Amino acid sequence: MKEDVTAARGLDSRQNSLNFLRLVFAVAVIASHTASVGGYGREPELLGVTIGTWAVAGFFAISGYLIANSRTHRDFGGFLVRRILRIYPGYLVCLVLTALVFAPLGAAIGSGEYKWSSALGYLYKNSYLKINQYDISSTLDHVPYPKVWDGSLWTLRHEFICYLLVAAVLTLRRHRLQAVLAAFVALAAIAIFSQHHSHPAQVGTLSLLASTFFAGSLIALLGERISLTWKLAVPACAVLVASALAGEMNTLGAIPLAYICLWLGRALPFHKVGRRNDISYGIYIYGMPVQQLLVLAHVQRVSAPLFTLIATVATIPLAMASWFWVERPALRAAGRFDTVIRRQLRMGPPLPTPAPGKALMGPRHARQARDVVG
């Protein structure tokens, strides 16, 4: 076990397992979808919360931490360009492949009908991160989980909104910690209220996910004040368990969840996983389309664990292609754009991080923050 250090110093390098955790969360989403997509029954749960919900919450907690660190080290324009190029190119290519490759292939394998008009509608209606059309004609009418080609993409819009919210709050030069804390409390209150009263579904969902995201950002701003230690991880686990059992995992349990994820990122020895090539985003966005194709080919006749394994293995080549041919080139383009803009505007080095998180991250960790998943 590594010695206890602060959140700022403990994750201030590439020597952490945050990319490994994101990969685990991506596979967990596939495992959670197996139940419904394959027709195996209810999704697996832990403490009354589905595995997929746990995984998405973990994604948002880690992203909140890394995004807050990234924002404090660059201007809003450069930050926004990087965030767009990190999430959107991979998303758009996934839409294109689903509409023009997976759906017609699914129609050929199964008994559905493929229509170009529906495929083009899928591309157009979903092109700005909000999923307005899940199906493509009748290509998925005869599967256990019909009319949904990619049930994972809906979270990306909420994640991008969280990017903008955190970026806006951190535009403040003073009282950043207080502002992030106030935003977290407000979002958690909205989420708790929305679970017990009639409300627009989008508001409730966004507030739940944003609560977890801001919990990670809050820990980032408290970087030098919070130690990553098992002595805090154990009571954090206890609070998280109680919160989950009470149905408030994303609200009352948000800060403990974020802390546990970051502590694991420091304590686990898998820092080489995803250090150079992070395929977790690709696993996440391509997992369900692959599962639906496997169901059309009747692969779901095997056991649920074996189906999950087959789907994960089959998704890896797509995730690798997404990283090498789409995501990494987009990130490099973002870096070049940032350099050109700084030269043209004669801008200085990235903005220094004000107290209380003046030692939030070093240059190596800044590179990891730029590579964060959606």
Decide: 65 and 219 in contact? Cβ < 8 Å: yes
Q: What is the pLDDT of residue 91?
A: 98
CA–CA separation, 374 and 149 (whole Å) = 19
Instruction: State the DSSP string of 125-179.
Output: HTTTS-------TTTTTTSSSTT-S-TTTHHHHHHHHHHHHHHHHTT-SS-HHHH
pLDDT score of 302 more than 90: yes
- SS3 for 111? coil
- pLDDT value, residue 367: 47
Question: Is 105 exposed, middle or buried, given 0-12, 13-18 or 19+ CB atoms closer than 10 A?
Answer: middle
pLDDT, tens only, 4-29: 677 666 676 677 899 999 999 999 99
- Lowest-confidence region among 90-99, 123-132, 344-353: 344-353
Token pair for 237: 């686990």
pLDDT, tens only, 106-139: 999 988 899 999 999 999 999 999 999 999 999 9
| Residue 371 pLDDT > 80 | no
Dist CA 194 CA 200 (whole Å): 8
What pLDDT, on a 0 to 100 scale, did the predictor assign at position 75?
80
Per the CB < 8 A criterion, the answer to whether 310 and 37 are in contact is no
Peptide bond into 349 cis (omega under 30): no
More confident residue, 71 or 293: 293
Q: Encoding tokens for residue 303?
A: 């056991």
Structural tokens at position 173: 């030069």
Lowest mean pLDDT: which of 186-190, 226-230, 233-237, 358-362?
Answer: 358-362
Q: Are 257 and 214 in contact (CB under 8 A)?
A: no
**Is the pLDDT reported for residue 370 higher than 70?**
no
pTM above 0.85, yes or no: yes
Count of CB atoms within 10 A of residue 340's CB?
10
Q: How confident is the model at residue 365 (pLDDT cuts 50, 70, 90)?
A: very low
Is residue 44 within 8 Å of residue 51, measured between CB atoms? yes
Name residues whose C-beta falls within 8 Å of residue 282's C-beta, 6 or more positions apart in sequence: 90, 315, 318, 319, 320, 321, 322, 323, 327
Q: Using CA atoms, how far apart are residues 95 and 90, in angstroms rounded to an integer? A: 9
Which pLDDT does position 358 carry in this prediction? 42
Query: Confidence class of residue 279 from pLDDT cuts 50, 70 and 90?
Result: very high
Confidence of residue 219 (pLDDT cuts 50, 70, 90): very high
- Residue-wise pLDDT tens digits, 253-264: 999 999 999 999
Looking at residues 48-70, what average pLDDT do you find?
A: 95
- Secondary structure E strands in the chain: 5-6, 45-46, 49-50, 227-228
